[in-house]
Amino acid sequence: MKLKKHLSFASLRKMLSKCFTKISDHRQAGKVNYSIHDALMSAFSCMHFQDPSLLQFQKRLEKKHHKSNLQTLFNIKNIPESTQLRTIIDNVDSEYLKSFFNEYFYRLQRGKHLLQYQLFPRLYLIAMDATDYFSSYSLSCSRCLKTKPPKNEKEETNNTGDGIYDDEEKGVRYAHKALQAALMHPDMRQVISLMPEEIRNTDGTTKQDCEMNAAKRLIPQIRKTHPQLGIIMTGDDLFSRQPIIEDTKAARMHYIYVAKPTSHQYLTEWLNTYPTLHEKEVVDLKKEARHVYEWMNTVPLHGGEDAIKVNYFRYQMFTKNKQGKEIIGYQNSWVTDIEVTEQNVQTLVKGGRCKWKVENECFNTLKNQGYCIDHSYGHGDKNLCFNFYLLTLIAFAFHQVFELTDKLYQTCRHELGSKKNLWDHIRAYLKLFVFETWESLLMFTLNPEHYLPDKAPIPS
């Protein structure tokens, strides 16, 4: 099976090694037992194989065979002890890891793998949403976001910058969050993660950091990193406010932001003065569903004198219950700067609904399918939490690239039936054998019987 060399495991790993070796090391030369590269790459290997105990097993292999999979696959010379690994990673400036996200994106671009992600010609959809990757009621640092338990369980906090709670107050929850951006398409399962923006408190501030402030930093950063890319930003109702929309437009981007009637009362009342909106209806006889699209262009976002004009569209899906009565199965509404027409309204709705992919294909995968981003690998004093989140995200990026481009990996996925089953097999073989390449590991996983001692040797 022919591999795309610039997106192979070896090529991506070398690119990541190059990123790690560029990190400035301010430790005293005579007191350095483990390099920054080896510490970061050791942590990354655990994320890549979704196995927190990987380092212990590889040390046993090294004693027995005088080499390990960490050496052959990741070019790790010395495996750090757990405490030393955390200390080293805690002191690494997270900005150094940004270069990986930029470079792997460019490689996907260069290989024309992103063309299939165009929502409209030359326009790509980038969704943003926030996630917790650490929380505790006891461990904390100066960067932690602090929240009290909401009176209503459905109430959201830390979205618009609450005041900083006193550490002495009871029930304060400490958390680390990030605003994650990812390029995606409604018809593509794989999402392309970008460098996230950390949501964190800084010294001297009276208000906490929040998603809104993080978005104000992230949007221009995305444009700076991708100056020529045609971008449509999408996100939830929190971002359909004039300051964020103006920042989006200032960055030469389009937008599709959720606009709930409850948080856009003036806009809703303004639309209600019209007897009807422009409408399109599509009936799916097979699924017994009726899809209704409504829209109005050039409407005021709010009632202020400086209100910007937006284009509004709404979608309702009607289905039938067991009694045959028609009910609303789903409904939502959005604002955009793209003119809404009968020809593009269905695509715009697909783009607006695509935000759930950040939650399902990205966050849900990272939390519930082996990556365990909300598992505590340590809190640290500086950058440990965020760096572990970034390393997990980089491992996820590796796997998304393999799903897009690696035929051997795709064959393994197909033969073993599920992602969980595939990684269970891989982890088991890593504890028993040393593999010279990623491809030899996959070949063995695909057909281990062929490499039994009385047949062929383990592939190299």
Residue 375 has pLDDT above 90, yes or no: no
The pLDDT assigned to 129 comes to 93
What would the pLDDT profile of 298-339 be if each residue is shown by its tens digit? 999 999 999 999 999 999 999 988 888 899 999 999 999 999
2-6, 88-92, 134-138, 161-165 — which is least confidently predicted? Answer: 161-165
**Main-chain dihedrals φ then ψ at residue 276, nearest 5 degrees:** -145, 155
The neighbouring-strand residues paired with 279 are 294
**Model confidence at 3, in pLDDT bands (50, 70, 90)?**
low
281 forms beta bridges with: 292
**SS3 label, residue 217:** helix
Percent of the chain at pLDDT exceeding 90: 67
In this prediction, residue 373 carries a pLDDT of: 54
* Predicted pLDDT at 56: 84
Enter the tokens of residue 391: 């390393």
Core vs surface per residue 139-169: b (16+ CB within 10 A) or e: ebbebbbbbeeeeeeeeebbeeeeeebeeee
Strands 289-300 and 278-284: antiparallel
Q: Can you name the residues that pair with 313 across neighbouring β-strands?
A: 295, 334
DSSP assignment of 125-162:
EEEEEEEEEEEESS---TT-EEEPPPSSTT---SSS-P
Nearest to 241 by CA among 228, 255, 224, 222: 255
Burial of 204 (0-12, 13-18, 19+ CB in 10 A): exposed
Instruction: In whole angstroms, give the CA distance from residue 419 to residue 361.
Output: 13
Q: Could you give the C-alpha distances from 246 to 64, 178, 232, 307, 312, in angstroms and in order?
A: 61, 22, 14, 11, 16
Over the stretch 173-187, which tens digit does the pLDDT of each residue have? 889 999 999 999 999
* Cα distance between residue 386 and residue 391, in whole Å: 9
Average per-residue pLDDT in the chain?
89
Question: How far is Cα 357 from Cα 129, in angstroms, rounded to an integer?
Answer: 10
Q: Which residues of 317-331 are buried (b: 16+ CB within 10 A; e: fewer)?
A: bbeeeeeeeeeeeee
Tens of pLDDT, residues 134-175: 888 888 888 889 988 666 544 444 455 555 545 555 678 889
Residue 199 clears pLDDT 80, i.e. is over it: yes
Strands 231-235 and 254-258, by their bridges, are parallel
CA neighbor of 68 nearest in space, from 401, 435, 459: 435
Band (pLDDT 50/70/90 cuts) for residue 454 is: low
- Whether 268 shows a pLDDT value over 50: the answer reads yes
Q: Lowest-confidence range among 118-132, 158-172, 203-217?
A: 158-172
Q: Which position has the higher pLDDT, 37 or 360?
A: 37
What is residue 157's predicted lDDT score, i.e. its pLDDT?
47
- Report how far residue 268's alpha carbon sits from residue 301's, in angstroms, rounded to the nearest whole number: 9
Q: How far is CA 318 from the centre of its chain?
A: 31
Distance, in Å, from the CA atom of 346 to the CA atom of 204, rounded to the nearest integer, reads 47
CA dist list (Å): 233 to 11, 16, 252, 255: 30, 28, 11, 5
* CA-based torsion, 345, 350, 356, 357: positive or negative: negative
Alpha helices in 312-418 (DSSP H): 345-353, 356-357, 365-368, 384-405, 407-416
Dihedral angle sign, alpha carbons of residues 448, 452, 456, 460: positive
Band (pLDDT 50/70/90 cuts) for residue 441 is: very high
Q: pTM here?
A: 0.90
Which amino acid, residue 312?
Y
- Categorize the per-residue pLDDT at 360 as very low, low, confident or very high, splitting at 50, 70 and 90: low
Packing angle of the helix pair 407-416, 384-405 (nearest 10 deg): 90
The pLDDT of 103-124, averaged and rounded, is 97
- Please tell me the predicted confidence (pLDDT) of residue 78: 92
Between 398 and 451, the higher pLDDT residue: 398
Inter-CA distances, 308 with 232, 244, 265, 271, 280, Å? 18, 12, 15, 15, 26
Q: What percent of the chain has pLDDT over 70?
A: 88
Mean pLDDT computed over 199-227:
91
Residues constituting the chain: 460
18: tokens are 């190059």
Residue 154: predicted pLDDT: 44
Q: What is the pLDDT of residue 155?
A: 46
Say what the pLDDT of residue 192 is: 96
The closest of 90, 39, 134 to 381, measured between CA atoms, is 90
Strand partners for 300:
309
pLDDT at 365: 65
